[in-house]
Structure 1
Amino acid sequence: MSAESPGRRLGLRGRVMLTFALGAALVLLLLAVSVFTISRGYLLDQRERSAQRLASADADFVKRRLAAPNADPRAALMALDPAADTILLLLRHGEWISADGNPPPAPPTPSLLAEVAAGATTLEPVTVGELPYLVVGVPLGDGDAFFEFTPIIELRSTIQVLGTVLAACALAATVGAALLGLWASRRVLHPLRSLAGTAASIAGGNLDSRLPEDNDRDLNTIVTSFNSMVDSLQRRIERERQFVGDVTHELRTPLTTLVTSVEVMHRHAAELPDRPRRALELVGSELDHLRRMLDDLLTLARTDAGLHHDDEEPLRLVDLLDHVLAGQAATPVDADTDGPVLGRKLALVRAFTNLVDNAERHGRGLARVGLHAHGDHVLVEIDDHGPGVEPAERERIFERFATGRTARGSSAGTGLGLALVAETIAAHGGTVHCTDAPGGGARFVVALPLDNTPEDTIE
């Protein structure tokens, strides 16, 4: 079996939200990188142009001061009024001169010196004492040169702030896109949840469930098609139920006549020879089998159609089981709870009677009946002395007409008793299953939801 892909584990909503988030993240990443690169290049270019213009103006001023007789190079540098943290250097006749009289903190690189010596005004980024600068070299003629170190700390901080803001905006927009994807997925899945809920209701037996009309023209086709399908399905099921009920009802009249005739013949059975008498017993047995089958079919048809002889009421299963076991004096109910359930008394009596009869007919006799609380359910356990039920057959025995080998080697039953039990218990919101009894044999376990009706209303 292949491993489930990560996308399948996320579910449709997760995939939609992830798609929105990844799409937004990719677009915003590209946009943020583009904006950052363009803005950084523009700011650096403007700063370099400003540094070059300022250095050229300062170089012209120094050059004019040096042209005066007996000019002092250091005084010429000091006459300038540079911005804070700006470093001024003068290369005069091969000697480095600074405005403060100290040696230059970081002389220009050889490549910069070479370009300036060639007569070109040159700019180059450098680091002085771990601080970033732009150094501009301006040739003054006769081998002299002027160098101005302009600090760009604020520019670097501005670029860092710009990068941080762009990253934060991209992250926030990605989260916003994910939330938008979540909202969009909920909107998209809302019709599917409505469809799933209606389908589950129909599967639970409520064939009157329909999808509500929707003003969305794209969904109207689905809603109309689904409701039309359910209408057609309901009509077909109702026709089949009606057919089964009519056929079963029509068979009761000739069957009653046959049963009456056989009973009359049984009164004179002693006058018949052995062979006709055995044939009469066989006919009587088969008629009894057919009568019970018709009764079960009628009960199933009424259950399918939702027709019942009684209404739901709070019931004590202890009393109900005692009633069912009235003819089984040696099998008391082993009960540790008297929790009530809400149900139809006649239907539940018939269901538990079928389980007891099943144990007597096919399980070599009833062994035990237990009643226990289990969470918000009450469990009824019915054990027999038989050989048990094979695991592969434990679901099939609750199907209609499961006789022969499916019914533990017996063909005496109608094949409808356990099917009627399963449908009756399901109609009460419960479940029934077969397992192994601790002492051998089969155990049928019925789980019914507890009722919270006040005690004084329970009969």
Structure 2
Amino acid sequence: MNRGSSPRLSLRWRVSAAFGLGLVVVVSALCAATWHLATGYLLSQRQLSADRHSRVNARLVDNAVRDQPDGLGELLPALAAGPHSTILVSLPGGWRTAGRPVAPEDLPPGLLTRVHAGAPAHERFLADGIPVLAVAQPLAIPNGFYVELHPLLGLERTFQNLRMILFSGTVVCGLFGVVLGAWAAQRALRPLAAFTETAARIARGDLSARLPEQSGPDLAPLAATFNSTAAALEQRVRRDARFAADVSHELRSPLTTMTSVAEVLDRRRDAMPPPAQKALQLLLAELHRFRGMVLDLLEISAVDQADNGEERELVDLGALVRGGVASSPAPRPALDLATEPLLVAADRRRLDRVLANLLDNAARYGGGAVRVAAYARDSVVRLEVDDAGDGVPEELRERIFERFSRGVHAGRRDPDAGTGLGLAIVAEHVHRHDGRVWAEDRPGGGARFVVELPRARG
């Protein structure tokens, strides 16, 4: 991830969000269609009922005006359907009203102009905060109109309940979609998790790791290709390891012969002229360096061989450090060891080589080890080797654990320059034990090499 960029959601969460969003879109479309159909149907039914009711009432008003014009005072209150209904009648002498008081001026503009013979006009609006349906009917008298305001409180409550149900249903379906997406993603990504775990095992050095056979037609070819690639990689690594081992073994005999001859000549150095003495000194230095490289190559070859765990035992890292420091030819550093046993399941020979290489690296490049510590932290056992050098530049802290890498000392050719395999052997041995190794700055200056191994229970 680039610095400054926002972190991306995992594939599982993206699939879950896609499921949830898709379900919300589908359900929202269905809810919108349901809302429009249901509200349209209920409004049309309410309008038909209001039309029938208003048509009957308009005939009664027509008859009353024709037979007894002054009889509207008793008729109109009787025609009001409820406390929230309003009746307005337009006569040549003015407006007559009954029910909840609503002024004629509050009627929607243009309502009466849309009334035609036999064709009432309708309009919904708020009358003093109450939703009503206005139905205007023409009367038989000239410029006579019958207007009735039907309250829609019950219908509005129905709409509100329907709106709440549809909204709640959409939210619930969205959450269900997220859960369904998470479940589907987990099942779909389960083979990918197996691929990741197998690849991680191969990266840690377990070249025999393979994927289980897949029954699905989509995953079976991928698993077969992965396993064949892993098998080819294992064969290549084994072949390279055997080649390095064979070459190293073949080099030991002539190298031993040349070293013996050079040492015999070295004993007669005083009888040689100065140029020959200088050449012999350079030859001995290169032979000793070459011999160390061959031994390291043999160790690398042994590291590359499969570790079946048969040589592992419970090792007290504190006791191993104490013995390793005591047998080291370098000056003894300060020891900072825990009092309790620091048990790890390990190959003792390989751990001895890890400590020896770290002490040798400190002596060659760091001015010597000044402190060696071992203690437990959570579920791991931690080994620290501090030196008195200039430290390791941050850009080289990973590269120095690669084979034939000597960091800032890559250009040195003196006998004490090393071969660039010591820290690579450390990294290989530590990774074989499911541990970690890295370099960091030591408080107060210098470098600190840290090894963490899983702690074993005795």
Q: Report the Cα offset of residue 202 of structure 1.
A: 0.8
- CA shift in 2, pair 1:159/1:449, >3 Å: same
Structure 1 runs not aligned, ≥5 long: 455-459
Q: Report the Cα offset of residue 237 of structure 1.
A: 0.9
1:292 aligns with 2:292: yes
Q: Please, which moves more after superposition, 216-225 or 156-165?
A: 156-165
Q: Which amino acid aligns with 1:313?
A: E
Q: Which amino acid aligns with 1:447?
A: V
Show the counterpart of 1:453: 457
1:203 aligns with 2:207: no
1:354 aligns with 2:357: yes
- C-alpha distance in 1 between matches for 2:444 and 2:84: 98
Show the counterpart of 1:345: 348
Q: Report the Cα offset of residue 155 of structure 1.
A: 1.8
Q: Report the Cα offset of residue 240 of structure 1.
A: 0.6
Q: Deviations over 1:328-351 (max 9, x none)?
A: 596254224144132222222222
Kept after mapping to 1: 8 A contact 2:132/2:152: yes
- CA shift in 2, pair 1:405/1:157, >3 Å: closer
Q: Report the Cα offset of residue 298 of structure 1.
A: 0.9
Kept after mapping to 1: 8 A contact 2:384/2:449: yes
Q: Report the Cα offset of residue 69 of structure 1.
A: 7.0
Q: Deviations over 1:12-59 (max 9, x none)?
A: 223222223333333333332333223222222221222112221233
SS at structure 1 position matched to 2:195: helix
Out of 411, 416, 429, which is 2:421 matched to? 416
Q: Deviations over 1:264-293 (max 9, x none)?
A: 5566x3794355666555544443333322
Kept after mapping to 1: 8 A contact 2:102/2:127: yes
- C-alpha distance in 2 between matches for 1:288 and 1:395: 28
- C-alpha distance in 2 between matches for 1:33 and 1:142: 45
- C-alpha distance in 2 between matches for 1:344 and 1:170: 61
- C-alpha distance in 2 between matches for 1:387 and 1:156: 81
Q: Report the Cα offset of residue 118 of structure 1.
A: 7.6
Q: Report the Cα offset of residue 245 of structure 1.
A: 0.9
Show the counterpart of 2:183: 183
- CA shift in 2, pair 1:34/1:240, >3 Å: same
Kept after mapping to 1: 8 A contact 2:80/2:86: no
- C-alpha distance in 1 between matches for 2:15 and 2:186: 10
- CA shift in 2, pair 1:71/1:417, >3 Å: closer
Kept after mapping to 2: 8 A contact 1:302/1:308: no
SS at structure 1 position matched to 2:383: strand
- C-alpha distance in 2 between matches for 1:395 and 1:3: 20
Out of 100, 104, 123, which is 1:107 matched to? 104
Q: Report the Cα offset of residue 200 of structure 1.
A: 1.0
Show the counterpart of 2:336: 335
Aligned pairs (5 A) from 1:78-227: 82=81, 85-91=84-90, 93-97=92-96, 105-107=102-104, 109=107, 111-113=110-112, 121-143=120-142, 144-227=144-227
- CA shift in 2, pair 1:216/1:420, >3 Å: same
1:35 aligns with 2:48: no
Show the counterpart of 1:56: 55
Count of matched residue positions in the alignment of Structure 1 and Structure 2: 449
- CA shift in 2, pair 1:435/1:407, >3 Å: farther
- CA shift in 2, pair 1:145/1:425, >3 Å: closer
Q: Which amino acid aligns with 2:14?
A: R
SS at structure 2 position matched to 1:401: coil
Kept after mapping to 1: 8 A contact 2:388/2:447: no
Show the counterpart of 2:22: 23
- C-alpha distance in 1 between matches for 2:388 and 2:74: 122
Show the counterpart of 1:429: 434
Q: Which amino acid aligns with 2:338?
A: T
Aligned pairs (5 A) from 1:348-427: 348-386=351-389, 388-402=391-405, 406=409, 409=412, 411-412=414-415, 413-427=418-432
Show the counterpart of 2:239: 239
- C-alpha distance in 2 between matches for 1:221 and 1:193: 17
Kept after mapping to 2: 8 A contact 1:333/1:371: no
SS at structure 2 position matched to 1:158: helix
- CA shift in 2, pair 1:148/1:236, >3 Å: same
Q: Deviations over 1:170-189 (max 9, x none)?
A: 22222222222222322332
Kept after mapping to 1: 8 A contact 2:336/2:371: no
Q: Percent identity?
A: 36
Kept after mapping to 1: 8 A contact 2:389/2:447: no
Q: Please, which moves more after superposition, 322-331 or 270-279?
A: 270-279
Kept after mapping to 1: 8 A contact 2:76/2:98: yes
SS at structure 2 position matched to 1:212: coil
Show the counterpart of 1:457: none
Q: Please, which moves more after superposition, 367-376 or 164-173?
A: 367-376
- C-alpha distance in 2 between matches for 1:121 and 1:57: 12
Kept after mapping to 1: 8 A contact 2:120/2:135: yes
- CA shift in 2, pair 1:106/1:132, >3 Å: farther
Kept after mapping to 1: 8 A contact 2:386/2:442: yes
- C-alpha distance in 1 between matches for 2:307 and 2:115: 107
SS at structure 1 position matched to 2:9: helix
Q: Report the Cα offset of residue 260 of structure 1.
A: 4.4
Q: Which amino acid aligns with 2:427?
A: A
SS at structure 1 position matched to 2:457: coil
Kept after mapping to 2: 8 A contact 1:90/1:146: yes
- C-alpha distance in 2 between matches for 1:128 and 1:364: 95
Q: Deviations over 1:353-390 (max 9, x none)?
A: 23333344444544443444444444434344555555
SS at structure 2 position matched to 1:142: coil
Aligned pairs (5 A) from 1:275-314: 282-306=282-306, 311-314=311-314
- C-alpha distance in 2 between matches for 1:308 and 1:340: 23
- TM-score, scaled to structure 1: 0.82
